[in-house]
Amino acid sequence: MAEFSWASRSPLEHALVTGAHGARGVEAGVSLTEVRNFDLIQVMARRGKAAELVNAAKGRFGVAAPNAPKAMQSQDATLIWSGPDQFFVLSKGGKHTMDTLALTLSSPASLSDQSHARALVSISGAKARTMLAKLSSIDLHPSAFPIGAAAATSIDHTSVTLWRGNDRSDGQAVFNLLVFATFAESLWHTMLDAAAEYGADIGQSEEF
Amino acid sequence: MTSSQSHRLTSGGLIDRSAPLNFRFDGKTFSGFQGDTLASALIANGVKLVGRSFKYHRPRGILTAGSEEPNALVELRTGARREPNTKATTAELYEGLEATSQNRWPSLRHDVMSVNQLFAPIFVAGFYYKTFMWPAKFWEAIYEPAIRRAAGLGRAAGVADPDHYDKAWAHCDVLIAGSGPAGLAAALAAGRSGARVILCEEDFSLGGRLLSDGGTIDGLPAAEWLLRTLAELEAMPDVRIMARTTLFGVYDGGTYGAIERVNDHLPSPPEHQVRQRLWRIVARRCVVAAGAIERPIVFVGNDTPGVMMASAMRTYVARYAATPAKRMALFTNNEDGWRTVETALSAGLQIAAVIDARPDVSPAHRSLASKGGFPVLHGSVSSVDGGKDGVRKIAVSLTGGARAEVEADGLAVSGGWNPAVGLTSYHRGRPKWLDNIAAFVPDGAPPGMVAVGAANGAFGLGACLADGFAAGGAAAHDTGNSGKAGAAPVAEDEAFSLTPLWHVAGKGKAFVDYQHDVTASDIELAQREGFESVEHLKRYTTLGMATDQGKTSNVAGLAIMAAVTGRSIPETGTTIYRPPYVPVAIGAFAGHHRDETFHATRLTPSHHWAAEQGAVFVDTGLWKRAQWYPRAGEKDWLESVTREVKAVRGGVGFCDVSTLGKIDVHGPDAGAFLDRVYINTFSNLAVGKARYGLMLREDGIVYDDGTTSRLAEDHYFLTTTTAKAGLVMQHLEFCRQVLFPELDVQLTSVSDQWAQFSIAGPKTRDLLKEIVDPAEDLSNDGFPFMGAREVRLRGGIKARLFRISFSGEMAFEISVPARFGEAMARNLMLAGAPLGVTPYGTEALGVMRVEKGHIAGPELSGTTTAADLGLGKIMSTKKDFIGRVMAGREALVAPNRQVVVGIKPVDKARRLRSGAHIIPKGQTPGPGNDQGYVTSVCFSPTLSQWIGLGLVERGRERIGEIVHAHDPLRGEDYDVELCNPVFYDPDGGRQRG
């Protein structure tokens, strides 16, 4: 009998080359880090049960589910708005999977597993906003897009979820981007192209 | 000609004499300085002749010092980077710049085509329309190419541009166009108030006319005030100053287009950098401080090299320390023109004379004339004597009728100033006429926009500063910024007294539109021939239609038309203003989207595995799909595809079908929802079963098809075709949110969540047994045809298994979470090796579906009904669904509709082609007897011949009939037989087996 390997393979595995990209001899203006192997569950309130879902989510995560384009950080998950009465639960390490969330949320909500349907890229660095201005029509000025701001938008005609996470320890802003898995490699090349003139530091991580 | 900068002043100007630059123009080497434009460097070297005109090939010189230049167009750079029609007046000089004059042969000084001037009397407006009408077919083949060669502009590079361009967004409270005194004052007020400000300046230096005209602001020399102001603005974190950036258009919702020439001032962009960047700026307010454009006066010989706008003349002298003329004359109808005399005198140049069209000249200017020792002539320039080496003599008709002559090597002309009304008029605005300046000014503007300073007809320095400051402060205030703006900068206003003068009548060519060679007499001719409306005038004479869009010519053209029709200028009106304000390279609009990155692409989960196998990929919408997997020794695609089909039909194969749209339909009302969107019923589908479904558009035509499985009471898994995946999702969301909000149903696209493979062939079960956990029952009883459920795989992961078949074989589709997709392909190869498992591509998939008579894209063409496709029977009569009523329309149920039928060539060896028309046998093909067409064809390895599907009138009633296939596109005519569309295993035993 054949020995099967079920190696998980990120949609960016082929395209992502860690290290420096683009302009050299300067401090990299942009850091692009792919975060791999996350759990992402779409939670959509059933008809008339939005309030019940809010309570259930509050009980489960300890933070209020976002009711506007925002990302809420809990102890071990990020709740990201994805539309009226719906949000994503992003987590690592199997803490919030279809099976575990169904216990508390399946009565007020429909759950759909999107863990494999997206790639997650984190963008930071002194030139992160400048580089993102080439990709996104969203105003990312600190006054318009503070920590926790989120947007369901499109980049390069590709649907994405963009939100601002907590700042890096050096104070630099961090932008997180969820993109559909089958578009990920294409968008990745667009991002590399946009970042090249500032110098990019490419990495991948199993942690947020 | 000399290369020693013979026409450069020894001091002054904003050039860096410590940074000399070498450049070449028409193969000759010159030198200039950092801070020069190509035009100023040519002037500094005494070059007067820079181009040949469009139609008559007349020698032309530099007319202006800005982006309104009609004459001095050159081909800049060489090879793949060659850019035609580049304005020498805005091209920044750099070391090694190479430019070539245009539209001349063999050389600029000896241009064969200048014989056109001899024929000038016949090359009048409308000449081409009148002359080359007959014979009609000669136009495209002979006349137009010949005319384009003779009358043309620069040559495109003809090869791909090696440079990169990109696009970016910016956002601000207050956007300011122009960094002259009005724009800077607006930026100061808005910035100090705390607003987010973007200031765009077309030039590479900030300051606008301050750079040329100086003045005193807040008691400081203008240059000093400029430095202080720029330092203050640069210190504000939310003020962004963008030089080399032209704001070229305004669009809906406060979005503006701007082009930034990031690296045009270098020979080539540094590594990883772009040449130009296209900006989309979203601004809540916009202050247009775009200034004004000085206008020529139309007189005979006004296109002689050396005739130049007065403001340009003093820009070259003051800003660039370059002298277009050593002994110049001025022809003006206003006070502003005299500033050129002041500048020239202080630079030590000679003034030959001032010809002033006004009745009076101020005492100050009279004493200037007597001090400078030059005459002031009241009258007009009637003609200029000169040629390709410049102006020699100027003929003047004096007020009262006498004539005079002035010897000069340059003539500065000022006919007044036209505010730059482009941006304010791009939303169909019509500017209004102001008599006191004899010019059009904005009459309103798109929402959120206001024009200030010279762009609004306020030409004085003091007025520009005050206007700009007030507008900048107001814009900041309107956008919620309440910081203290402080005091406005103060300056005095210069006098501007103008007596309108547009055209000095005379014998000979007097040019209105220099770039398109439109003369005053062309406009008079247009009027005589009935083209009086300004829009007709424009099209008939091509006035204002060149790359400069008539910036120096339009108003003069209107004024001449007004004069010959006896109307006023405002009655004559303006043509519609359209963006872009300056030409913008297509490369900038394309940005990153070129070549392989022309559009986003989607890759299936097994893409890189398939690439490793040597798959040939085909673009299917945004997808790259494996089309076939060639093996060594196979001579063409047909051989590979035939092998793949035979391997499936005789054994087992698999194909990545992840491109199908996949939608989770959740909720207690999911079944009821699907009943309304599909023509058949899904609410009665048992959990664990799949069913084929067909959905219609509202108009009764088939929209899409696919299988939908019920995975739980309240969870269906719906699939769509690859092509319609996104559209069906949109359609279903529309149904859910708008049509049926009462239903408790939730939709999620899971297209990217699942890697899905079709596994087909008689040995499918043997292969699956190797992959699937042994505890799972895959027998016909345990997993019957159209079964659908979750299974556990060896190695622990879970998958979804669907017993559905597109190939007509015993088949399953298996789904695993997408990150396991590549592992699935590898494991299928591993497990299937003893069975000879064969990966197959979309071609083999297509062959098997045609053999099986399954419909796909070519039949779901947006014109077919369910009955046309042979699926009328599944249309439920017991429930309502989208498209039901309209599907019953007379024409959609007519008995003579074209319906799906099989097609076989009578000559078994013949190849079929899709697109061939079906005609009754023995008839001459024509629209009257066209009965349909061939939709899909393939070579069937199973039947060893070409077969096809077609949409043919009453096709199902005509099985066995021989008809004629007529293919005019490929020049083929042959007989075919109409047959059952199911060529393979018509009773379906194999897929159930």
Of B129 and A154, more confident: A154
Q: Does one domain contain both B271 and B183? A: yes
DSSP, collapsed to helix, strand or coil, labels residue B612 as helix
Name the packing angle between helices B554-565 and B534-541 (round to 10°): 120
Is B666's pLDDT higher than 60? yes
Determine the pLDDT at residue B127. Answer: 67
Task: Judge whether B104 lies within some domain.
Answer: no
What is the per-residue pLDDT across B370-389, written as a single tens digit (0 to 9) for each?
Answer: 999 999 999 999 999 998 99
Q: Does one domain contain both B182 and B275? A: yes
Q: Which helix (H) or strand (E) holds B146?
A: helix B144-150
Please give, one letter per residue, the 3-state secondary structure of B447-511. Answer: CCEEECHHHHCCCCHHHHHHHHHHHHHHHHHHCCCCCCCCCCCCCCCCCCCECCCCECCCCCCEE
Determine the pLDDT at residue B130. Answer: 66
Nearest CB neighbour to A46, from listed B168, B623, B667: B667
Class of residue A1 by CB neighbours under 10 A (exposed 0-12, middle 13-18, buried 19+): exposed
The pLDDT-based confidence of B136 (bands split at 50, 70, 90) is: low
Task: Judge whether B146 lies within some domain.
Answer: no
Q: How many CB atoms lie within 10 A of CB B629?
A: 21
Q: Does one domain contain both B287 and B187? A: yes
What is the per-residue pLDDT across B244-275, written as a single tens digit (0 to 9) for each?
Answer: 999 999 999 999 999 999 999 999 999 999 99
Q: Does one domain contain both B508 and B564? A: yes
| pLDDT cut 90: percent of chain B above it | 92
**CATH number for B953:** 2.40.30.110
8 Å CB contact of A133 and B599:
no
What is the per-residue pLDDT across B471-498, written as a single tens digit (0 to 9) for each?
Answer: 999 999 999 999 999 999 999 999 889 9
8 Å CB contact of A4 and B827:
yes
Task: Judge whether B129 lies within some domain.
Answer: no
What is the per-residue pLDDT across B755-776, written as a single tens digit (0 to 9) for each?
Answer: 999 999 999 999 999 999 999 9
Nearest CB neighbour to B272, from listed A23, A44, A138: A23
Of B948 and B143, more confident: B948
Task: Judge whether B956 lies within some domain.
Answer: yes
Of B749, B767, B790, the position where a domain reaches its end is B749
The amino acid sitting at B954 is R
Domain count, chain B: 6
The amino acid sitting at B942 is T
B595 touches chain A (CB under 8 A): no
**CATH number for B523:** 1.10.10.1100
DSSP, collapsed to helix, strand or coil, labels residue A70 as strand
Nearest CA to B274 among B598, B580, B597, B587?
Answer: B587
Is B128's pLDDT higher than 70? no
Determine the pLDDT at residue A4. Answer: 84
Cis-peptide, bond into residue B135, ω within 30° of zero: yes
A112 touches chain B (CB under 8 A): yes
Name the phi and psi angles at B595, rounded to 5.
50, -130
| Closest chain B C-alpha to A146 CA, distance in angstroms | 15
Are the C-beta atoms of residues A77 and A91 closer than 8 Å to each other?
Answer: yes
8 Å CB contact of B603 and A185:
yes
Query: Using a CB-CB distance cutoff of 8 angstroms, which residues of chain B are in contact with residue A118?
Result: 752
Determine the pLDDT at residue B134. Answer: 62
Determine the pLDDT at residue B473. Answer: 98
Q: Does one domain contain both B169 and B259? A: yes
Phi-psi region of A154 (alpha: psi -120 to 50; beta: other; left: phi over 0): beta
DSSP, collapsed to helix, strand or coil, labels residue B733 as helix
Q: Does one domain contain both B625 and B765? A: yes
Are the C-beta atoms of residues A105 and A46 closer than 8 Å to each other?
Answer: no
- What tokens does B704 get? 């899409």
Q: How far apart are CA B292 and CA B458, in angstroms?
A: 10
Q: How far apart are CA B68 and CA B417, in angstroms?
A: 13
Query: Using a CB-CB distance cutoff of 8 angstroms, which residues of chain B are in contact with residue A144?
Result: 171
What is the per-residue pLDDT across B596-613, written as a single tens digit (0 to 9) for each?
Answer: 899 999 999 999 999 999
Are the C-beta atoms of residues B793 and B799 closer than 8 Å to each other?
Answer: yes
**CATH number for B770:** 3.30.1360.120
Are the C-beta atoms of residues B439 and B417 closer than 8 Å to each other?
Answer: yes
B479 touches chain A (CB under 8 A): no
Nearest CB neighbour to A2, from listed B602, B745, B830: B830
Name the phi and psi angles at B750, rounded to 5.
-120, 25
Please give, one letter per residue, the 3-state secondary structure of B821-870. Answer: HHHHHHHHHHHHHHHCCEECCHHHHHHHHHHHCCCCCCCCCCCCCCCCCC
Residue found by looking up tokens 């699937």 in the block: B772
DSSP, collapsed to helix, strand or coil, labels residue B665 as strand
Cα torsion angle, B557, B560, B565, B571, sign: positive
What is the per-residue pLDDT across B791-825, written as a single tens digit (0 to 9) for each?
Answer: 999 988 999 999 999 999 999 999 999 999 999 99
The pLDDT-based confidence of B144 (bands split at 50, 70, 90) is: low
When computed from its CA atoms, the radius of gyration of chain B, rounded to whole angstroms, is: 38
Q: How far apart are CA B975 and CA B920, in angstroms?
A: 10
The pLDDT-based confidence of B965 (bands split at 50, 70, 90) is: very high
Of B825, B848, B871, the position where a domain reaches its end is B848
**CATH number for B736:** 3.30.70.1400
Is B320's pLDDT higher than 90? yes
Mutation target vs A (from B197, B281, B729, B746; most A CBs, 10 A cutoff): B746
The residues in A 53-82 lying below 8 A from B, measured between CB atoms, are none
Nearest CA to B463 among B209, B686, B759?
Answer: B209
Give the mean pLDDT of B158-182: 97
| Closest chain B C-alpha to A134 CA, distance in angstroms | 4
Strand partners, B712: B715
Query: Using a CB-CB distance cutoff of 8 angstroms, which residues of chain B are in contact with residue A9?
Result: 819-823
Length of chain A: 208
Is B2's pLDDT higher than 50? no
Residue found by looking up tokens 């024009």 in the block: B451
Q: What is the ipTM of this complex?
A: 0.97
For chain A, the 3-state helix, strand and coil shares in percent, each to the nearest 5, are 20, 35, 45
Q: How far apart are CA A186 and CA A191, in angstroms?
A: 9
Are the C-beta atoms of residues B100 and B26 closer than 8 Å to each other?
Answer: yes
The pLDDT-based confidence of B149 (bands split at 50, 70, 90) is: low
Cis-peptide, bond into residue B237, ω within 30° of zero: no
- What tokens does B676 get? 């309304």
- What tokens does A192 get? 């590399």
Mean pLDDT of chain B: 95
Q: How many CB atoms lie within 10 A of CB B128?
A: 16
Is B135's pLDDT higher than 80? no
Please give, one letter per residue, the 3-state secondary structure of B332-373. Answer: ECECCCHHHHHHHHHCCCEEEEEEECCCCCCHHHHHHHHHHC
Q: Among the listed ranges A149-153, B494-498, B628-632, B817-821, which one has the minimum average pLDDT value?
A: B494-498
Determine the pLDDT at residue B153. Answer: 78
Q: How far apart are CA B883 and CA B866, in angstroms?
A: 11
Q: Does one domain contain both B636 and B653? A: yes
Give the mean pLDDT of A157-179: 96
Q: How far apart are CA B314 and CA B321, in angstroms?
A: 9
Give the mean pLDDT of A167-191: 97
Query: Using a CB-CB distance cutoff of 8 angstroms, which residues of chain B are in contact with residue A106?
Result: none
Q: Does one domain contain both B652 and B668? A: no
Q: How far apart are CA A36 and CA A175, in angstroms?
A: 16
- What tokens does B457 get? 């007809």
Interface contacts (A, B; CB < 8 Å)? 165
Are the C-beta atoms of residues B154 and B75 closer than 8 Å to each other?
Answer: yes
| Closest chain B C-alpha to A160 CA, distance in angstroms | 13
| Closest chain B C-alpha to A78 CA, distance in angstroms | 20
DSSP, collapsed to helix, strand or coil, labels residue B923 as coil
Mutation target vs B (from A1, A3, A4, A97; most B CBs, 10 A cutoff): A4
* B602-603 sheet: strands from edge to edge: B602-603, B623-628, B616-620
Q: Does one domain contain both B437 and B505? A: no
Determine the pLDDT at residue B992. Answer: 85
Are the C-beta atoms of residues B327 and B349 closer than 8 Å to each other?
Answer: yes
The residues in B 275-314 lying below 8 A from A, measured between CB atoms, are 280, 282
Nearest CA to B494 among B456, B455, B454, B552?
Answer: B454
Give the mean pLDDT of B579-584: 95
Are the C-beta atoms of residues B479 and B198 closer than 8 Å to each other?
Answer: no
Task: Judge whether B861 lies within some domain.
Answer: no
Strand partners, A154: A159
Domains and CATH numbers, chain A: 19-36+116-205 (3.30.1360.120), 39-113 (3.30.70.1520)
Q: Who contacts A150 (Cβ-Cβ below 8 Å, separation ≥6)?
A: A66, A69, A70, A71, A80, A81, A161, A162, A163, A164
Name the packing angle between helices B821-832 and B764-771 (round to 10°): 120
**CATH number for B464:** 3.50.50.60
When computed from its CA atoms, the radius of gyration of chain A, rounded to whole angstroms, is: 18
- Give the HSE-up count for residue B434: Cα atoms under 13 Å, Cβ half-sphere: 20
Nearest CA to B338 among B432, B267, B237, B413?
Answer: B413
Determine the pLDDT at residue B109. Answer: 85
Q: How far apart are CA B880 and CA B676, in angstroms?
A: 6
Give the mean pLDDT of A23-35: 94
A187 touches chain B (CB under 8 A): yes
Q: Does one domain contain both B529 and B400? A: no
Q: How far apart are CA B839 and CA A161, in angstroms?
A: 35
Specify the pTM.
Answer: 0.93
The residues in A 118-177 lying below 8 A from B, measured between CB atoms, are 118, 133-134, 136-139, 141, 143-144, 156-158
Q: How far apart are CA B389 and CA B658, in angstroms?
A: 72
Task: Judge whether B75 lies within some domain.
Answer: no
Mean pLDDT of chain A: 96
DSSP, collapsed to helix, strand or coil, labels residue B640 as helix
Q: Who contacts B16 (Cβ-Cβ below 8 Å, separation ≥6)?
A: B33, B34, B35
Give the mean pLDDT of B406-413: 97
Is B589's pLDDT higher than 60? yes
B499 touches chain A (CB under 8 A): no
Task: Judge whether B458 lies within some domain.
Answer: yes
For chain B, the 3-state helix, strand and coil shares in percent, each to the nearest 5, are 25, 30, 45
Determine the pLDDT at residue B866. Answer: 97
The pLDDT-based confidence of B1 (bands split at 50, 70, 90) is: very low
Mutation target vs B (from A10, A112, A130, A187; most B CBs, 10 A cutoff): A112
Nearest CB neighbour to A181, from listed B196, B272, B752: B752
8 Å CB contact of A190 and B170:
no
Are the C-beta atoms of residues A161 and B732 closer than 8 Å to each other?
Answer: no
Nearest CA to B756 among B680, B679, B700, B825?
Answer: B825
- Give the HSE-up count for residue B118: Cα atoms under 13 Å, Cβ half-sphere: 4
Q: How far apart are CA B938 and CA B912, in angstroms?
A: 8
Q: Does one domain contain both B404 and B432? A: no
What residue numbers bound the domain in which B795 lies? 606-658+754-848
What is the per-residue pLDDT across B285-304, written as a single tens digit (0 to 9) for each?
Answer: 999 999 999 999 999 999 99
Of B684, B717, B749, the position where a domain reaches its end is B749
Give the mean pLDDT of A41-55: 97
Length of chain B: 993
Q: Does one domain contain both B511 and B620? A: no
Task: Judge whether B989 lies within some domain.
Answer: yes
B656 touches chain A (CB under 8 A): no
